[in-house]
Amino acid sequence: MNSAVRLNKALASAGVCSRRKADELIAAGAVCVNGIVADELGLRIDPATDRITVHGKPVDFPPPGMESQAHTYVMLHKPIQVVSTVRDPQGRPTVLDLLPEKLRKGPRLYPVGRLDYFSEGLLLLTDDGELTNRLTHPRYHLPRRYQVRLRERPERHMLECMQKGMTLREGERLAPVDAEMRENNTLLLTLRQGVNRQIRRMCRDLGLTILTLRRVSLGPLQLGDLPKGQCRPLLQSEVTALKKAVGL
């Protein structure tokens, strides 16, 4: 990155955070350029010559042309009772606590999206801010598949309600959801929308009780047989497929 770029893009490329989070940090006065607080969201900087700090800590930018090679991509099988954040004010275990020491002490890894406290399954962590930005942007929402085990077997009209697109109690209109009934009162749901706690709220409104909720895929990524609490680096083919899915 020899030429000037927008500050939020530079921070994303350095793996600090997504572009949207970078804008929030800039607006909060947490970012300085050459010792001066950045006060413009559209400010352009040259990472090769400008000195950038976030909360007083210097930002290290990868050499020109090395941005894509400098990133880390990790798939984690998040267990329940672990929060999908890098830190928790209540002192609960976070997804970073599950990573090997070399990953905790390496590049800053951030979870892409979230799984709630009592949900488990596939969670992607990376320091690739541009990819994170795409994966969390409404325009690029990839299909996410979940296995949902229920206490009771849902009636046909409940599945049809999900498949046609329902309106939540709070008034939010949902896009249609692929809903397939499997054995042992297990639903396989595929979502293409980013509504907070969508599955739990759908089941609540339909009178269904969730026993377990597990994300098993994110776009081209498959959880497979990765054990709970364990992680693995993405294969290069998985990284390539993921980037292709969001137009990178």
At what angle are helices 129-136 and 236-245 packed, to 10 degrees? 50
DSSP 8-class letter at 167: B
Cα separation, 29 vs 24, in Å, equals 9
CA 17, 20, 23 angle in degrees (round to 5)? 90
- Tokens for 39, please give them: 């006060």
Bridge partners for 35 per DSSP: none
Cα separation, 111 vs 76, in Å, equals 9
Q: What share of the chain is helix, strand, coil (3-state, %, to 5)?
A: 25, 25, 45
List the catalytic residues. Answer: 116
CB 77 within 8 Å of CB 121: yes
Q: Could you tell me where the DSSP H helices lie in the chain?
A: 7-13, 19-27, 101-104, 129-136, 156-164, 198-206, 236-245
